[in-house]
Amino acid sequence: MESSNNNTTHRNGSFSSSFGFIISCVGSAVGLGNIWMFPYRLGQYGGAAFLIPYLLFVFLFGWVGLSAEFGIGRLARTGTLGSYRYCFSARREKAGKFGEALGWIPLLGSLGIAIGYAIILGWVLRSCWGSITGELFSMDASTYFSQATGDFGSIPWHTIVVVMVCAVALTGVSKGIEKVSKVLMPLFFLLFLIVAVRVAFLPGAGDGYAFLFVPKWDALLKADTWIMAMGQAFFSLSITGSGMIVYGAYLDKSADIPAASLRTALFDTLAAMLSALAIMPAVFAFGIDPTSGPSLLFLTLPEIFKEIPLGNVFAIFFFVSVAFAGITSLINMFEAVIESWQNRFHMSRKLAVALCGILTLAIGLFLEAEPKVGSWLDFVSIIVVPTGAVLGAVSIYYVLGYRRIRKELEEGRDKPLSKAFGFAARYVYVPLTVLVLILGICYGGIG
């Protein structure tokens, strides 16, 4: 079986501490979906009642889903392609090549999301700059936004995003990914908290809190509530069969993976709740449709910031924090691709980073128009990414086998895993990943 020495550090380095690992994983998980999707789904599907199925799914997916991806990465001491090869080689040596071929699906999912993400982050940076210069407030928000979202409408900002992420990737794991995450994620929470406190004092904000937290218990009797809670939890944790595997490859043997997975899920949930507290009270204070989704970021909120004292300052705080969340997620997507290319094609890290950046930008330039990037992300997020997640779950818990991965997950723990973990992993989590894929296609996206 092809495997690396589990007692050696990955050639790209490793996380220097458990905190560094967790905060990097939180940075990967906390993304734009937490900010623009969770708040209105929370209110739309039952308020506080929605939290019951959501938290159940977050716990399940964090406990056995994230643990699986972290675990196979650490066990194989490599990222996506090498980990799938490792799983299939456990069954039959020659099957390793087939496993590696399957691994390209989740890897392309990470690259596909990265291409679209970089475009949207370009819009975020442009909005942030407009908040600083005042240009965002000197014209109608829709006019400002439309200038960025036409064909080749955001090339400079789009390029800045890709260059920044490549610069972080070039510095490696502990000096780049970990250090940047330790700075950006605490700032994300702080800035969003400041915005949340400010909007709490807006007249009519109470209606937003009611929308979010007054329980509508009848919603629990509707299938859509559980389906959307499952989709939101699944995609919020970045379970893709790729990205979290590579972070696991950089993890020390002394780390308690299941515990770290649950902490990652906890902070991801706190980020989602904080975004809800920052956005929905403001939306209701100004009588705006709370289900407007992504347009909240670029159209609705700028108009709100125009109307409040020191609105430009709070707009800067908001867009900077959104940028921080997006950049840390994009770093993970890049790293999944870079590490696999390093190992598969025996190239230097510098070359892998350069190729990833060039490819992301070259394809993305032709997708900058809003309808194009929307269609691109719909296809990748509805078809490719869930397929990758299914392949990851099946490969780890069935092809490699629960006994092998359980042994790895018990490394660094004081107590062995419970029997409930194995049952939940094989007979609940794996079928649910298949269900996420099927329902996503049927609904046109659930995450």
In tens, the pLDDT along 330-389 reads 999 999 999 999 999 999 999 999 999 999 999 999 999 999 999 999 999 999 999 999
Q: Which two tokens stand for residue 392?
A: 């990851």
The mean pLDDT value for 191-202 works out to 92
What whole-number percentage of the chain has pLDDT above 70?
A: 97
- Please give the single-letter amino acid code of residue 95: A
For residue 291, the model assigns a pLDDT of: 67
For residue 160, the model assigns a pLDDT of: 97
User: What string of H, E and C letters represents the secondary structure of the chain?
Assistant: CCCCCCCCCCCCCCCCCHHHHHHHHHHHHCCHHHHHCHHHHHHHCCCHHHHHHHHHHHHHHHHHHHHHHHHHHHHHCCCHHHHHHHHHHCCCHHHHHHHHHHHHHHHHHHHHHHHHHHHHHHHHHHHHHHHHHCHHHHCCHHHHHHHHCCCCCCHHHHHHHHHHHHHHHHCCHHHHHHHHHHHHHHHHHHHHHHHHHHHCCCCCHHHHHHHHHCCCHHHHHCHHHHHHHHHHHHHHCCCCCCHHHHHHHCCCCCCCHHHHHHHHHHHHHHHHHHHHHHHHHHHHHCCCCCCCCCHHHHHHHHHHHHHCCCHHHHHHHHHHHHHHHHHHHHHHHHHHHHHHHHHHHCCCHHHHHHHHHHHHHHHHHHHCCHHHHHHHHHHHHHHHHHHHHHHHHHHHHHHHHHHHHHHHHCCCCCCCCCHHHHHHHHHHHHHHHHHHHHHHHHHCCCC
For residue 292, the model assigns a pLDDT of: 64
Task: Check pLDDT > 80 for residue 314.
Answer: yes
Prediction pTM value: 0.93
CA distances from 5 to 153, 155, 276 (A): 48, 43, 44
18-443: which CATH topology?
A: Hydantoin permease (1.10.4160)
Give the start-to-end residue ranges of the domains of the chain.
18-443
Rounded Cα distance between 178 and 174, Å, is: 5
Out of 109-113, 141-145, 320-324, 423-427, least confident range: 141-145
Confidence of residue 426 (pLDDT cuts 50, 70, 90): very high
Asked if residue 22 lies in contact with residue 248, where contact means CB atoms within 8 angstroms, the answer is no
- Please give the single-letter amino acid code of residue 387: T
**Residue pLDDT, tens place only, 173-185:** 988 999 999 999 9
